[in-house]
Amino acid sequence: MMELLWIDLADSLWHDWKGDGHAEDRLESREWQAAFLERNRLSAPVPASEEEVAELRRFRDELRGFSVRLAAGEAATEDMVHAINDQLAEQAVVRRAELEEGGSVRLSWTPAADSWRSVRAEAAADFARSLAEGLGSRIRLCDNGNCKWVFLDDTRNRSKRFCDDKLCGNLMKVRRFRERKKTET
Ligand SMILES: [Zn+2]
């Protein structure tokens, strides 16, 4: 499944999932910023200014807070919608009608400026889209307590517990196995 933009932003707070879970804020990393923009086909100045990083962090932490609540089974609330709208209000877009082959008309829009403000608005719109599509109840936090990544449970029976079964899933399996052996001996 393709990673959603808002989840990509939410997971910029990286934790040492194999070790003790210590956190590393990747928002501050120029390499992370460039890679994040590239994989989401967005553009903004790199490195982001201190103020831009602070604004991104504030919104990122909001998204993480909302994810925790949604993952716990809460429904969307007024403050979530407010936070989304605050971000959307900052975005200026340019709309364009384009004539396509066969005479159909397509309406497209692009951000008026390449900026981190637009990136935040895109992430907010993406989060809103997830909620509008009823995906709110599929938002999860990785069951590896040292990882804490946000992900969407795309399984039919909603049984996905780890951000990645091969990574966190396996690690936890190995840990459980070791615990069992320890109590057995
Ligand atoms: Zn994980």
The CATH homologous superfamily of the domain defined by 5-184: Jann2411-like domain (1.10.3300.10)
> How far, in Å, from the CA of 92 to the mean position of ligand 1?
36
> How far, in Å, from the CA of 165 to the mean position of ligand 1?
8
pLDDT in tens, 43-98: 999 999 999 999 999 999 999 999 999 999 999 999 999 999 999 998 888 899 99
Query: Collapsing DSSP states into helix, strand and coil, what is residue 42?
Result: coil
> How far, in Å, from the CA of 18 to the mean position of ligand 1?
9
> Cβ atoms within 10 A of the Cβ of 34, count?
13
Q: Are strands 105-111 and 23-25 parallel, antiparallel or unpaired?
A: unpaired
Mean pLDDT over residues 23-37, rounded?
A: 96
Tokens at 169, concatenated: 């899933």
> Ion ligand 1 — residues with CB under 5 Å?
142, 144, 147, 149, 163, 168
pTM: 0.86
pLDDT of residue 2 exceeding 70, the answer is: no
Quick check: 156 and 116 in contact, CB under 8 A? no
Whole-angstrom CA distances from 154 to 2, 126, 141 are 11, 17, 13
Alpha-carbon gap, residue 33 to 9, rounded angstroms: 10
84 contact partners, CB below 8 Å, separation of at least 6: 124, 125, 127, 128
Mean pLDDT over residues 93-114, rounded?
A: 90
Q: What is the pLDDT, as a whole number, of residue 1?
A: 44
> How far, in Å, from the CA of 130 to the mean position of ligand 1?
21
